[in-house]
């Protein structure tokens, strides 16, 4: 079965097969369903598409690609990135762990999501430069937005205090092999202004993967779509037929 390369998705229109729990679909069909959800939403607020899954799997890249494809369908997107709610680096160091849910401002993220569900058009939110760690404030304007793409590790979580999936209309889980994730995370680490050395990175990844198994892996069952990314950056898209 061929996998979907996102650089060539506009030329991909194949027929799909079904399994007991999920069926493989093309990105074209996947986009159609997101557009339909956006256009048929009964809520007065802007629909939210939650994009979660493995750390380092390329959620942000996929989210930007999805925004581009939706824009081609005249669907205006706003990307709400969970990473922008991270605490400043110095505050995170004081916590004393490599990574856990205390490292970001979950209360503030809940507040922003509540504002969106309340159909607020203008509000303030943090914005974080992932390479430098610099955090600023930005004014969000949703007046011309049709859908929110909510990107981050915990976007599909259903347990307190990080039950962010309760705000979403569609859930997408991006999956990959752990070996590939490790390599992709290492490559991204080298682009930072102050990258970790090998030992520091190994310790960081151990914490990240421990958190993944505790707080994120279970969210795969909540997703409407599961997208598996292989080592050559190709994508296999499956729809949960029971959703």
The ranges of the chain with pLDDT < 70 are: 1-23, 42, 241-243
Angle, alpha carbons 151-155-161 (nearest 5°): 140
pLDDT tens column, 135-185: 899 999 999 999 999 999 999 999 999 999 999 999 999 999 888 988 988
Both structure tokens of 235? 């994508």
Nearest Cα residue to 230 out of 190, 192, 180 = 180
d(CA 154, CA 106): 10
pLDDT tens column, 180-204: 988 988 998 998 888 999 999 999 8
pLDDT of residue 18: 33
Structural domains present in the chain: 22-240 (3.40.50.300)
Asked if residue 173 lies in contact with residue 229, where contact means CB atoms within 8 angstroms, the answer is no
3-class state of residue 175 by DSSP: strand
pLDDT of residue 42: 67
Name every residue whose Cβ is closer than 8 Å to that of residue 52 and which is 6 or more positions away in sequence: 59, 152, 153, 154, 155, 156, 157, 171, 172, 173, 174, 216, 219, 223
CB atoms within 10 A of CB 27: 21
Q: pTM for this structure?
A: 0.82
């Amino acid at each position: 079965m061929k996998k979907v390369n996102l650089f060539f998705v506009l030329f991909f229109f194949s027929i799909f097969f079904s399994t007991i729990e999920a069926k493989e679909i093309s990105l074209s069909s996947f986009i159609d369903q997101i557009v339909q959800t956006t256009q048929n939403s009964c809520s007065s607020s802007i629909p939210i598409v939650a994009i979660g899954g493995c750390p380092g799997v390329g959620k942000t890249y996929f989210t930007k690609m999805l925004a581009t494809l939706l824009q081609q369908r005249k669907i205006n997107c706003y990307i709400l990135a969970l990473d922008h709610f991270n605490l400043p680096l110095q505050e995170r160091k004081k916590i004393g762990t490599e990574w856990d849910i205390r490292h970001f401002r979950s209360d503030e993220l809940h507040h922003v999501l509540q504002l969106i569900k309340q159909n607020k058009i203008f509000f303030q939110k943090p914005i974080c430069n992932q390479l430098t760690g610099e955090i600023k404030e930005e004014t969000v304007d949703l007046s011309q937005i049709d859908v929110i793409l909510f990107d981050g590790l915990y976007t599909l979580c259903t347990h307190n205090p990080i039950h962010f999936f309760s705000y979403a209309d569609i859930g997408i889980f991006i999956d990959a092999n752990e070996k590939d994730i490790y390599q992709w995370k290492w490559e991204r680490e080298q682009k930072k202004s102050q990258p970790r050395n090998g030992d520091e990175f190994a310790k960081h990844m151990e914490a990240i993967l421990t958190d993944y198994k505790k707080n994120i892996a279970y969210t795969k069952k909540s997703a409407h779509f599961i997208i598996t990314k292989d080592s050559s950056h190709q994508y296999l898209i499956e729809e949960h037929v029971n959703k």
